Amino acid sequence: MTQGSPGGLAVTTPSELEIVMTRAFDAPRALLFDALTKPEHIRRWLGRRGDVMTVCEVDLRVGGKWRYVWTLREGGEMGMSGEFLQIVVPELLVTTEAFDEPYFEVMGAGTVNTLRLEEREGRTFLTTTVRYKSRQARDAALGTGMETGAAESYDRLAELLRTLA
């Protein structure tokens, strides 16, 4: 499976347990890493347009926790949280991720996410591998249209990076 967005997000399923999302950004790797890890930046790009991030907590250290909560444009709240398992500044983040109810099961009942940043030819390539507990969990997450939300967030991230450069 491969999807694309106008912003260039590619989504693939290289194994029964994984979704891989890749996108290039016109920004240095260190700047992109900051935008991915600093709450003052995360609040400005993560999530769909019209949703409001009400909680953005990041304890950027191995064993540190992170938590995000949004008030959704259609009403209600959505929250997610996790732990940092590995950090190599500015190239690698490995985290756990779990959504709050009622999204916990439909979004895979907890995942391990590996985010890599690679700088090439003046661009930074972001590759996120999301590993699910089962094929059914992976397919359920795909069925939510998660790639559309991810593409929109990454479009917003690209806009933010232009203002930070």
Amino acid at site 84: F
What lies within 8 Å, CB to CB, of 88 at 6+ separation is: none
pLDDT in tens, 63-96: 999 999 999 999 999 999 999 999 999 999 999 9
- Bond preceding residue 39 cis, omega within 30 of 0: no
With 80 as the cut, is the pLDDT of residue 3 above it?
no
The encoded tokens of residue 115 equal: 């985010």
- The span from the CA of 104 to the CA of 107, in Å, is 6
Q: What's the structural domain count of the chain? A: 1
Q: What is the CATH number of the domain that holds 57?
A: 3.30.530.20
**Whole-model pTM?**
0.91
Domain holding 115, by residue range, is 2-164
Q: Given pLDDT bands bounded at 50, 70 and 90, which one contains residue 146? A: confident
Summarised one tens digit per residue, pLDDT across range 10-63 is: 999 999 999 999 999 999 999 999 999 999 999 999 999 999 999 999 999 999
For 102, the token pair is 């009622």
**Mean pLDDT confidence for 99-119:** 87
